[in-house]
A and B are shown apart, each in its own frame.
Chain A
Amino acid sequence: MELNTEVKPGQKQYTTLNLGPTHPATHGIFQNVLKMDGEIIVDSEPTIGYIHRAFEKLAEHKPFYQVTPITDRLNYCSSPINNMGWHMTVEKLLKAELPKRVEYMRIIIMELSRIADHIVCNTVIGVDTGAMTGFLYLFQSREKIYEIFEEICGARLTTNIGRIGGFERDFPEAAWRKIKDFVKNFPAELKEFENLLTRNRIFMDRTIGCGPITAEKALQYSFSGPNLRAAGVDYDVRAMNPYSSYEEFEFQVPVGTHGDTYDRYMVRDEEMWQSLSIIRQAIEKIEKLEDKTSFHANIPSFYLPPKEDVYNNMEALIYHFKIVMGETDVPVGEVYHSVEAGNGELGFYLVSDGGRQPFRLHFRRPCFIYYQAYPEMIKGGFLSDAILTMSSMNVIAGELDA
């Protein structure tokens, strides 16, 4: 860490301030050394890597199935999106065609995750301006989403939902009921949260003009997701390179104009409404489908046997073991698949040499790419604005460090 703080005679004296590594406002562990002139940030240097867990190396030593738990530890606020992204990447490699029902079910899960992710981000922006109420209030809704995940897969945070090829079975009855309840009740809850913050004078004064970035700069920095859209560029992977039947859905891509904290908040807020509308459409589409029993693509070498068989039948156990340990044929190839995750374009670049594990797997992690713009965004602003800028960018240490 070398910020030049040497003072020459007649020169201004600057203060060096360490924001992090373990500061409550740094959303994980990373350090920012700030060079301060009073309360104004003159210069800064971020250091990351404190929780680097070597995901890419690990992935090169794990069979395709076992990579899924690695992916859901990237952005742990919306892990199902990462799971689905990985599954779709392998399916692209296998050239598997999925039943429509699976694709719609995935869309429901991915949009629920996006809402959960945006809830965390937007409520934390509130917390950093001093408004705790919204955080406590809207977290109940996130809790409901997590309950849905729990009904589907038994886990809440590190979900591991789905299979390569689709799902093991339909969502349980309770999950469908909870999804429908959520879609029914969430608008009122979100509306109340908006009433609390969106036109709040203090909130607006704190966030408008805070940590701005222009569209040009954002593109130069390869921003994606809500952070890019807040700057005025309507790039959304779901619309531009649709996957999982997104092309059949009607939704808008909200864009901001100034790229400041308020715009990022507003873009995420609007995206939650859009996600809700997508979930409604997906439920409708599923109900209209004639085929009610397909939950998996036609790739038998990836069918995991039913759990009850695995527990009671030796052959099924062996078969299950073989699939999970990677004794399945995966072709030689090279694919890239990206999904619109909570924070932007999450991409998987996968090279397979036909072996039991990926030969090379590179994650395009949106957090990693856009956090390098942070010093430029906070330069010339107040320390308190730096905190707000960080939370509005939705920096997730797990994704940043991999």
Chain B
Amino acid sequence: MTLDVVISSLKEKFGEQIIQDEQLYDFRTITIRKEAVLPIVRYLYDHERFQFRYLTTMCGLHYPKTEQPFGMMYQIHSLVHNLRFRMKAFTVENDLTYDSLTPVFLSANWMEREAFDFFGFKFKGHPNLKRILNVEDMDYHPLRKEYPIEDRTRFDKDDTMFGRKPSDFDRKKLIP
């Protein structure tokens, strides 16, 4: 069993849902439409021969300068054949809802909460979608690229001499 068999089977079954297929270093990566994430994962999980039954990791991505700036990255693994590959599904800012993978993988629960916490993705069908590592009353998603590393909610620090300053726009927004 090789990854080629798996990917060509996916292409056959899901056709246009698969946008791109590339080999990035030692990882085969496919880019798919976001509607296809759950059906593909479920297909690979249930498939008698492929048996991709291990969700290695998933995380959010943000490429602000692209047409579809937000994305989720998934890595799944077939322990039986030792095959693993990566899937990416991109979207635009006003459509950040993905299907939750929790019906297939229990481990998706916290990973999706993490993606929600840091990027603001919503997951349809998630049992308990709330922030996981940051405080619940935070109103922004800190891993997005527009947020600098300095805490914008603080005014007591002036790091101008170190080449860092909170942007004026945000100061105006935050000062009542």
A-side residues, CB < 8 A to B, are: 48-49, 52, 54, 56-58, 60-61, 92-93, 217, 219-222, 233, 235, 240-241, 333-336, 338, 345, 347, 349, 351, 360, 362, 364, 368-369, 371-373, 401-402
Given the known interface contacts A240-B82, A336-B86, A402-B133, the answer about A347 and B27 at a Cβ–Cβ threshold of 8 Å is no
Q: Which residues of B contact A371 (CB under 8 A)?
A: 110
Task: Sample 6 A-B pairs with CB under 8 A, ordered by A number.
Answer: A60-B143, A219-B79, A220-B105, A222-B56, A401-B133, A402-B133
Contact of B134 with A349 in the complex, beta carbons under 8 Å: no
Nearest to A52 among chain B residues (CB) is B133
Q: Nearest A residue to B61 by beta-carbon distance?
A: A360
User: Complex Cα distance A275/B134, Å?
Assistant: 37
Complex interface bits, B26-66 against A, C-beta within 8 A gives 1, otherwise 0: 11010000000000000000000000011111010110000
Q: Do A347 and B57 have beta carbons less than 8 Å apart?
A: yes
| Interface residues of chain B: helix, strand, loop or mixed (majority) | mixed
User: Which residues on B sit within 8 Å (CB–CB) of A240?
Assistant: 79, 82
**A372 with B107: CB separation less than 8 A:** yes
Cα A200 to Cα B132 with chains together (Å): 40
Structural contact, B57 and A362, CB atoms closer than 8 A: yes
The 7 tightest CB contacts between A and B, nearest first, are: A222-B107, A49-B133, A364-B57, A362-B59, A52-B133, A220-B106, A372-B110
Residue B25 at the A interface, CB < 8 A? yes
How distant is the Cα of A336 from the Cα of B24 in the complex, in angstroms?
Answer: 9
Chain B positions within 8 Å of A235 at CB level: 54, 79
CB contact under 8 A between A52 and B86, given known A336-B27, A372-B110? no
Rounded to whole Å, the gap between the CB of B110 and the closest CB of chain A is 5
A368 to B61, CA, bound (A): 19
Least CB distance from B73 to A in Å reads: 7
Is the pair B106, A221 in contact by a Cβ cutoff of 8 Å?
A: yes
Q: Please, how many angstroms separate the alpha-carbon atoms of A58 and B106 in the complex?
A: 29
Tell me if A's interface is mostly helix, strand, loop or mixed. mixed
| Contact across chains for A48 and B133 when beta carbons are under 8 A apart | yes
- Taking a contact as CB atoms under 8 Å apart, the answer to whether A57 and B25 are in contact is no
Residue from the list B29, B56, B142 in contact with A345, Cβ < 8 A:
B56
Decide yes or no: A222 and B54 within 8 Å by CB, A56-B118, A57-B143, A58-B149 being known contacts: yes
Residue of A with least CB distance to B24: A334
CB-defined contacts of B107 to chain A, threshold 8 Å: 220-222, 369, 372
In the complex, the chain B residue whose C-beta lies closest to that of A361 is B59
Per the bound structure, the CA–CA distance linking A241 and B77 in Å amounts to 12
Contact residues, B115-133 vs A (CB, 8 A):
118, 131-133
Residues of A within 8 A of B25 (CB): 92-93, 333-335
Given A222-B54, A336-B86; 16 other pairs, CB 8 A cutoff: A52-B133, A52-B134, A57-B149, A92-B26, A219-B53, A220-B105, A241-B84, A335-B26, A336-B27, A336-B75, A338-B56, A345-B56, A349-B73, A364-B56, A372-B106, A372-B109
Give the nearest-CB partner of B128 in chain A. A45
Residues of A within 8 A of B109 (CB): 372
A335 touches B55 (CB 8 A): no
* Complex partner residue of B110 from A334, A345, A369, CB under 8 angstroms: A369
Question: Scoring B residues 70 to 88 as 1 if CB is less than 8 Å from chain A, else 0, what string do you get?
Answer: 0001010001001010100
Q: With an 8 A cutoff between CB atoms, is B111 at the interface? A: yes
Contacts of B73 in A (CB 8 A): 349, 362
Query: Which residue on chain A has the smallest CB distance to residue B142?
Result: A57
Output the least CB separation between A234 and chain B (Å): 9
